[in-house]
Amino acid sequence: MKTGYEIFLITAEEKNISRAAERAFVTQQCVSDHIKRLEKEYGVQLFERRPKFKLTPAGEVMLQNVRNIQILEKRMNSDLKDMAHGEVGKFTLGISTSRAPVILPAVLSHYHEAFPKVKISFCIEDTQVLEERLLRGDIDLFIGVNTDPNPEFCIQTIALDEIVLVISSELLHSYFRVEEIKMMQKGVDMERFCDVPFTLSFKTGKVNRVIQEYLNDRKLQLKVMYNISDSETQILLCAEGICASLCPKMLLTTAYRHNLTCSENKKLYMLPINHLDRKLHIDLVTHSHMSQPMYVRVFIETLRKEVAEISKRNFLAIGQD
């Protein structure tokens, strides 16, 4: 990628000539000269200088294409270095903290048999962060939830998930009568749980966005005591009777295991929520301009198969006696 493109990319990211110059280890005049040459070469204005320094529509188009060039160049460099060192290949997968322990063991146990020498790095972040990292070429693909559409993305929904209420028997019985709890097996009205302490994910997460939209639509405000993005930790807090949580079904493995050995009052109820109709889309996202080598294509097929199996297992009946 020629120097002018590199300077343009840094300037677009920094949105400031002086910061771009500092990051590129050049003078501000040098940055300005590179941008002017590009503008003259293509006959367009790339940045608006006033009242605020920002990309023009033409600048946005150039940014998108320069990022694609950068991604292709990174892949070429990586592939050629692998060949030079006699390695079979490598790639980076993005995934959330909660879904990594649920999905990766099953996928990698099968994939490793076919490709024992392929090196895989993992980037553990929320979907919103992974979207940006794929655009920058920092990762090769990611597993996301309700990924925002983007012309640079190829999005395949590989499973659907839904959110349920998780609460211990002890905490549930402290708020409701036995007859009421039996009725909740078919679905709970969250209006009745506004005084119950909850743990939820941070508001930036895609799962929490679905929950917040549901609560806002129904004009509800839960009594949130703890914000923790990791679903396993949320479930463990529920198991102690400290609070309730709203969790995706696919991430309930810890709850199932807990119920196999716990006492009756520590048992976890996993209850469907009335009127929460929006599903979670578990997406496999790749860059639309990137071709994948065979070892990545096989990984994707293995991933699709195993996630479908995990989803099927965890969508079995979850009601309790």
Q: Which tens digits make up the pLDDT trace of 172-228?
A: 999 999 999 999 999 999 999 999 999 998 776 788 889 999 999 999 999 999 988
The per-residue pLDDT for 265 is 86
Residue 262 to residues 26, 244, 258, Cα–Cα distance (Å): 64, 17, 6
**299 vs 107: CA distance, rounded Å:** 8
Percent of the chain with pLDDT over 90: 66
Helix axes 17-24, 3-14, angle to 10 degrees: 130
Mean pLDDT of 132-160: 93
Average pLDDT over residues 216-241: 92
What count of Cα atoms within 13 Å lies in the side-chain half-sphere of residue 161?
Answer: 29
Q: What is the largest CA-CA distance in the chain?
A: 76
Cis omega before residue 51 (within 30°)?
A: yes
Q: Please state whether beta strands 223-227 and 197-200 pair in parallel, antiparallel, or not at all (unpaired).
A: parallel
Minimum mean pLDDT among 81-85, 90-94, 130-134, 309-313: which range?
81-85
Q: What tokens does 257 get?
A: 């295991």
Is residue 62's pLDDT more than 80? yes
Extract the runs of DSSP E, i.e. beta strands, from 119-275.
Answer: 119-124, 141-145, 153-161, 163-168, 197-200, 223-227, 244-248, 268-272
Residue 1's pLDDT band, with cuts at 50, 70 and 90, is: low
pTM value surpassing 0.85: no
Mean pLDDT of the chain: 89
All residues at 6 or more sequence positions from 160 whose CB lies less than 8 Å from its CB, including other chains: 279, 280, 281, 282, 311
Question: pLDDT tier at 74 (50, 70, 90 boundaries)?
Answer: confident
